[in-house]
Structure 1
Amino acid sequence: MLPTADKRATFKKLHESGCFIIPNPFDVGSAVALQHLGFKALASTSAGFAWTIAKADNRVTVDDVCNHLTAVCAAVDIPVNADYEGGFAVEPDKVAVNVARGVKTGVAGLSIEDSTGDAANPLYEHKLAVERIKAARKAIDADNSGVLLTGRCEAFLWGKQDIKLVIERLQAYSDAGADVLYSPGIKTKEDITAVVKAVAPKPVNLLIGGPGLSLQEVADLGVRRISVGGSLARMAWVGFMKAAKEMAEQGTFAEFANGYSGGELNKMFK
């Protein structure tokens, strides 16, 4: 198994030029499968993982996530970036403690978001949000781990379609020590370009969860990294639910004809 330090060095190098897809596995098996397909790095998905343990997104605990990350990192020889939600705490000092735990799982990077989970007040107050990024940065640097920190602004996901607010926050997170900047929900070329220019030369992650821009088109906009969130997990659930519903509602098994080859899976996991 490749040493953690080597994975972290590889991850850092991936962000220096070009544009790469960092797909989101939801368990150890899907992580190994994605490595088998040739992807250079992976990112966890809070939603996709939560569904595997029968929880809704944003309902997992720091223990749940750290155990999951440890297992995934141990199973692959490529870097893993952690969707670390909001650090599983509000106060910066508690975020720092949890980030230190996350670093010990073997991840090469992790993200901290600014959403509160409260629809009435969806984003942490600006100053507090910045302090949380600073705390994460300090925790990462405490042992010279080399873990990349991604600062996330969740405004668009919570209905605040204000690109100026997003840019203001991402710039502040950059100044606070974030290595990569990310605002899930931005989709237009104009907004993507505006974010890339605003935080340059630091790299930007773009979430793509459906048909739209291609890898090449995104690369042309200056984006460095593309993640897909819970999309692969949702695709896996499509096949499962179609077959299960057919059995439950019709008592037939036709969907099994579309199943992936067990032999191929055994070859991949041997």
Structure 2
Amino acid sequence: MQLSLEDQRRRALAFRELHTGPDVFVVANAWDAGTARLLTGLGFAALATTSAGLAFSLGRPDGAGLVDRAEALANARAIVGATHLPVSADLESGFGPDAEAIAATIELAAEAGLVGGSIEDATGDEQAPIHPFEVAVERVRAAVAAARRLDLPFTVTARAENFLHGRPDLADTVRRLQAFEAAGADVLFAPGLPDAEAVRTVCAAVSRPVNVLAAGPLAELTVSQLGELGARRISIGSGFSRVALGAARRAADAVLRTGSFAALAEALPFGDANALMAVPGTD
């Protein structure tokens, strides 16, 4: 379903306002239209895609280049069409090596109905997993410039990926986030931060909203506790998709090991699932 520009602008403005409101909020990561319907019905204020969740649903590991731009944006379009909420996308490293490719990705993301997207500084190269500082900043600058040319307030999130790629350098992470802010990024994000003190340090070092990934040790904190540390937005990443995979594996394993179908008692009742998918997500 193609959104009208008016509807997309409404969603874009609502997404921006969430970042400036009085409370920290959770952007829930959906990996298909069905989970977008489910998360919308539960009452989340905004949704995001998940590159890892999408890869897993396609039977692939998560990794650079294993899901291409067309597949990622088709997935995003399906999610956008299943909800009335604003949707931001995990655009990985921009699906291209240079500023032109990143700009094209932002433009195509907006055409898909998205109102925001993240660009990371990871390269996909195991030998040199993070872009050099100046290159990383220039890539964010290209994404911001493309976003500003759109007819809606598209929210650009800039990601510093050190902690996800074996470079636990908090000082460099802060330096990159500060430079991304200066380059015009609307939201700053350093996934994989190791503890509460690192979150506090990052949030205090920049003036733009900070997204925090609820994963690892940080998943032991609550929404309010992360907000007290300075987070403005919390994402789940592939967490919900892995919860679903874990539940399916446990139930299937029980059938094979014990012959018992008892785990199916925890499944969402068929009628509830059917009704959930029948509700138009854009009402």
TM-score, length of structure 2 as denominator length? 0.91
Residue in structure 2 matching 1:231, options 226, 239, 256: 239
Aligned to 1:132: 139
* Structure 1 range deviating more: 204-213 or 123-132: 204-213
Shift of 1:104: 1.0
Aligned to 2:155: 148
CA distance, structure 2, for counterparts of residue 137 and residue 144 of structure 1: 13
CA distance, structure 1, for counterparts of residue 146 and residue 193 of structure 2: 29
Amino acid at match of 2:10: D
2:54 is the alignment partner of 1:46: no
Shift of 1:20: 0.3
Aligned to 2:121: 114
Percent pairwise identity? 35
CA distance, structure 1, for counterparts of residue 175 and residue 110 of structure 2: 28
8 Å contact kept, 2:141–2:183: yes
Unaligned runs of 5+ in 1: none
CA distance, structure 1, for counterparts of residue 275 and residue 100 of structure 2: 46
CA distance, structure 1, for counterparts of residue 55 and residue 87 of structure 2: 17
Amino acid at match of 2:262: A
Aligned to 1:11: 15
Unaligned runs of 5+ in 2: 279-283
Equivalent position SS for 2:220: coil
Deviation digits for residues 212-255 of structure 1, max 9, x if unmatched? 11111111112100001000000000121223334445554332
2:196 is the alignment partner of 1:203: no
Deviation digits for residues 110-138 of structure 1, max 9, x if unmatched? 00000112222110011111111111111
What aligned pairs does 1:241-256 form with structure 2 within 5 A after superposition? Answer: 241-249=249-257, 251-256=259-264
Aligned to 1:171: 178
CA distance, structure 2, for counterparts of residue 134 and residue 249 of structure 1: 54
CA distance, structure 1, for counterparts of residue 226 and residue 153 of structure 2: 27
Shift of 1:187: 3.5
Equivalent position SS for 1:82: strand
Aligned to 1:267: 275
CA distance, structure 2, for counterparts of residue 12 and residue 40 of structure 1: 12
Shift of 1:269: 2.2
CA distance, structure 1, for counterparts of residue 51 and residue 256 of structure 2: 29
Aligned to 2:281: none
8 Å contact kept, 2:187–2:210: yes
CA RMSD after TM alignment: 1.5
What aligned pairs does 1:32-111 form with structure 2 within 5 A after superposition? Answer: 32-58=37-63, 59-111=66-118
CA distance, structure 2, for counterparts of residue 101 and residue 148 of structure 1: 14
Equivalent position SS for 1:3: helix
8 Å contact kept, 2:33–2:81: no
